[in-house]
Chains A and B, each alone.
Chain A
Amino acid sequence: MQLESVIRTQDLTKYYGRSVGCEGICLRVKRGHIFGFLGPNGAGKSTFIKMMVGLHAPTSGSGELLGRPLGDFRVRRRVGFLPESFRYQEWLTPRELLRFHGDLLGMERSAIPEATTRALGEVGLSDHAGVKLRQFSKGMLQRFGLACALLGDPDLLFLDEPTSALDPLGRADVRRLLLGVRERGTTVFLNSHLLGEVERICDEVAVIDHGHLVANGTLGELLAGPCEAEVGLAEPLPAQSAEHVAAAVGGRVLESAPTALLVGLPDEEAVPALVDALVAQGARVTRVDRRRRTLENLFLEVTDGRHE
């Protein structure tokens, strides 16, 4: 299937007076992907999302959302947005507020009640459709915000920290929900601090720091490259033959203990070759533990760990 970009930006730049919101952002987000947008606080994530949903006007550069230029309000009929603040008219019930949003979306009036029921059901708030939002906990409000973003079956979802107020169970629910949404072909643009969450569900990620894009690619591409393998041995192997084996597969011994080795390898592909070579040397391998590069490693590298 030909993948098509639903978000496309070219040198998108936003200055606030003299300070940089973000600068020269060129990004493509493919249809049907869950796209993770990462970065330290103040790096420009929210600036970017606000430009996407039309809250901020770019200083320069251009962008397209679902094939329409940024700032075209009509395209927002196909876009759902969960703002970071997730604050809503608290004196209304979810059913009342979703009716309002249905009106703004231009949905068929007769279709709104059913769509409301479905959206609330997806986030587990079916039993609270008639309860005033004022009585909601933060977690419930965030779930409601998700339901609101899902109303009208958008083609593109912008979620700004969608699980910040949720407990681990709630996070798992949202993860399932997003995977289900992707199944339906919806693209999800996910802004999150929770690297573990992102790593588990995102197809592609971008990292922004000080207003600049510092990494962008599929998780596979970004996390490829050098890895480490920790090998357990039934009996000690002479140090020299260990070095020899590691070198044969393009790696080197980083640490060695009598019955364990830590080998640095050029990539994950080298792990089976390493085991084969060890066995060929007469070693009896009891376990192999591959230590992959994590999103956190990547994040700290590309942002220089300058922020917390």
Chain B
Amino acid sequence: MSSGGVIRRVLAVAGLTFREAIRRRVVLAALLMSAGFLLLYGFGLYLGAHSVWTGAQAGFSELMRRAVAAQMLYLGLFPASLLVALTAVFASVGTISSELDSGVIYGTLARPIRRSELVLGKFVGLAAMLVVYAALMGGAVVGLARWQMATPLLPTWPAAVALLVFEPLPLLALAVLGSTRLPTLANGVMCTAAYGVAFIGGLIESIGGLIGNATMRNIGIVSSLLMPLDSVHRKALSLLLPAGLLVEQGGIPGMGGSTPSVWAIVYAVVYVAILVALAMRVLARRDL
């Protein structure tokens, strides 16, 4: 069968998955939470800007102003990425397993479609939803910060935005892989734990970097091998904000340590590809 057939089938599944994802309650809830967060964040920025430019701290040096602005953006991107990551987990932990439970999958798989195409379509559809969501969130946070505080951005900011958009995909790949084998709930627990490991690992690595503790740094490196999420986030921040502004503040989780190399990003991309390939293989070999 021609590759046109493969692409058509993958896109058909992806389209259906995308539509299903955006109409699910979990995404609606995420959007409501996001709207609430952005409102609060925008208000915070307004207060911050007011304070730095005209209020009590109006005497701040230009450098200090820029540092506060950078800090505010840094702080805003953390909850934004948290919301995107949790949405990635909860929107996709049951993407295969729940269809197996309900029996919906039988109608699809009795068609001339390879199971690997189904898995790929599911991944692409969910990734599309997350990419849109992450782009909206990242764009809103950066936009608000620029608007309110004229936050200085590095010329590499487009690459940073691309990384922020890519950030939920390792977690998505893990959730899709898990859903080919695990019950939905167990998969949710596993993926949430993986997110926790990545986050805590990144934190330990940062502190280790600050205090010069090699063991702590290594723990962080291992955690980012298990779930390359925090490393992508830190790389994005390093491409977005002038590092000096934040390092001067000192002791900021996730920014104190060394900046991840480009290999961390390569690793994350390979990680996603391998997990998706594994998911295809697991489903293809399973009796359903």
Contacts and interface: CB of A to CB of B under 8 A. Distances in A.
The SS class assigned to the A binding surface is: mixed
B107 A76 contact: no
B26 to A, nearest CB: 14
A101 interface: yes
Nearest to A83: B106
A103 B110 contact: no
A55 B288 contact: yes
Nearest to B114: A73
B12 A89 contact: no
Interface in A86-103: 86-89, 91-92, 100-101, 103
Nearest to A81: B110
Interface stretch (B1-9, B170-178, B237-245, B261-269): B1-9
B110 A83 contact: yes
A74 interface: yes
A53 interface: yes
A57 interface: yes
Contacts of A105: 111-112
Contact of A145 (B1, B5, B16, B107): B107
Contact of B112 (A50, A74, A145): A74
Determine which residue in B5, B112, B285 has the highest number of CB atoms from chain A within 10 A of its CB, and name it.
B112
Interface in A49-75: 50, 53-57, 73-75
A263 to B, nearest CB: 50
A73 B112 contact: yes
B20 interface: yes
A79 interface: yes
A3 interface: no
Interface in B108-126: 108-114
Given A103-B12, A106-B5, A87 B113 contact: no
Interface in A79-130: 79-81, 83-89, 91-92, 100-101, 103-106
A148 interface: yes
A193 interface: no
B54 interface: no
Contacts of A292: none
Nearest to A85: B103
B102 interface: yes
Nearest to B23: A91
Interface string A141-153: 0000100100000
A171 interface: no
A55 B12 contact: no
B287 interface: yes
Contacts of A28: none
A91 B288 contact: no
Given A76-B110, A81-B110, A56 B103 contact: no
B193 interface: no
A77 interface: yes
B113 A81 contact: no
A57 B115 CA distance: 13
A232 B226 CA distance: 86
B51 to A, nearest CB: 48
A149 B5 CA distance: 20
Contact of B110 (A54, A56, A87): A54
B120 to A, nearest CB: 14
A201 B110 CA distance: 25
A305 to B, nearest CB: 31
Contact of B104 (A56, A79, A88): A88
Interface string B1-42: 100010011011000100010010000000000000000000
Contact of B111 (A50, A87, A88, A101): A101
A173 B229 CA distance: 56
B103 A104 contact: no
A103 B103 contact: no
Contact of A76 (B8, B106, B111): B111
A100 B104 CA distance: 13
A55 B111 contact: no
B94 to A, nearest CB: 14
Nearest to A89: B104
Given A91-B20, A100-B16, A103-B9, A55 B110 contact: yes
Interface string B138-181: 00000000000000000000000000000000000000000000
A76 B104 contact: no
Contacts of B23: 91
B107 A55 contact: no
Contact of B8 (A16, A50, A106): A106
B113 A104 contact: yes
The 4 closest A-B pairs by CB, nearest first: A85-B103, A81-B110, A103-B12, A104-B111
Interface of A: 16, 50, 53-57, 73-77, 79-81, 83-89, 91-92, 100-101, 103-106, 145, 148, 158
Interface of B: 1, 5, 8-9, 11-12, 16, 20, 23, 102-104, 106-114, 285, 287-288
Given A85-B106, A87-B103, 7 more contacts: A50-B288, A55-B109, A56-B288, A75-B112, A76-B111, A83-B107, A104-B12
11 contacts: A50-B287, A54-B109, A56-B288, A76-B111, A83-B103, A83-B110, A85-B103, A87-B104, A103-B11, A104-B113, A106-B9
